[in-house]
């Protein structure tokens, strides 16, 4: 080994190779830890990030909270629809037949109704009001990525397919006490976690749903004093 600590060409015995392998392993572990710490900071940070037209990009924690509130509201709506309309095509107040087997007709009726309600809730709120009730509650709104302007129905549809539809699926487990409800609900949750990851990685806090729809989530800059 040279004075600088680097190995000489003839200093490559098993012991020396083991030392350098250990050092490389430690370096890789440190890099992995730093990457995880960076992702954690991006996911939990509420720091203000300047956006277009004097606005601020909404932070990830507030966006997650808004989505959770939206899902809770959709779950309540879905439960009511399952109780009302599921009972019209199966035994009263349920969408499961005796023995826990899924009544497929009742399930499809409620699912179609929930799809309509979900798009009206998300798409209509984004285009007509600028935000869902939960998003407005937290002082956020949806806008075009260029200047924060009102989004179109086309943008709302694309955004709903990436975000609103998985949010609906994740709520199925609440009112569909069946393996199908659990599987679809699990898929919805996994997809939303993936969206959360892409959101945290983006400097403009745009997940895949925002990138494809050309939208951003913003909040007004607080005025001084």
- Whether the per-residue pLDDT at 8 is higher than 60: the answer is no
Q: Give start and end residues of each alpha helix (H) in the chain.
A: 14-44, 60-84, 86-89, 104-119, 133-137, 153-159, 165-175, 179-201, 208-213
pLDDT of 193 higher than 80: yes
pLDDT surpasses 60 at 50: yes
* Of 39-43, 112-116, 151-155, the least confident: 39-43
Average pLDDT over residues 97-122: 77
Token representation of residue 96: 């499961």
Whether the predicted model's global pTM rises above the 0.75 cut: no
Question: What is the reported pLDDT for 225?
Answer: 40
> Would you place residue 131 in the very low, low, confident or very high pLDDT band (cuts 50, 70, 90)?
very high
Least confident of 37-46, 156-165, 211-220: 37-46
């Amino acid at each position: 080994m040279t004075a600088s600590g680097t190995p000489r060409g003839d200093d490559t015995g098993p012991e020396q190779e083991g030392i350098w392998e250990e050092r490389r392993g430690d370096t890789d572990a440190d890099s992995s830890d730093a990457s995880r710490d960076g992702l954690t900071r991006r996911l939990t940070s509420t720091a203000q990030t300047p956006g277009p037209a004097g606005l601020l990009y909404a932070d990830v924690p507030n966006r997650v909270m808004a989505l959770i509130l939206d899902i809770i509201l959709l779950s309540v709506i879905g439960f009511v629809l399952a109780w009302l309309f599921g009972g019209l095509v199966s035994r009263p107040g349920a969408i499961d037949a005796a023995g826990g087997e899924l009544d497929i007709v009742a399930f499809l009726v409620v699912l179609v109704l929930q799809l309509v309600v979900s798009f009206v809730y998300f798409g209509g709120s984004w285009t007509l009001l600028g935000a869902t009730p939960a998003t407005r509650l937290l002082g956020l709104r949806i806008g075009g990525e260029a200047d924060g302007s009102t989004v179109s129905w086309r943008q709302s549809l694309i955004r709903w397919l990436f975000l609103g539809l998985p949010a609906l699926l994740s709520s199925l487990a609440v009112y569909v006490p069946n393996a199908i409800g659990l599987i679809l609900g699990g898929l919805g949750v996994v997809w939303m976690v993936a969206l959360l990851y892409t959101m945290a990685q983006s400097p403009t806090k745009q997940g895949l749903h925002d990138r494809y729809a050309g939208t951003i989530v913003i909040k007004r800059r607080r005025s001084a004093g």
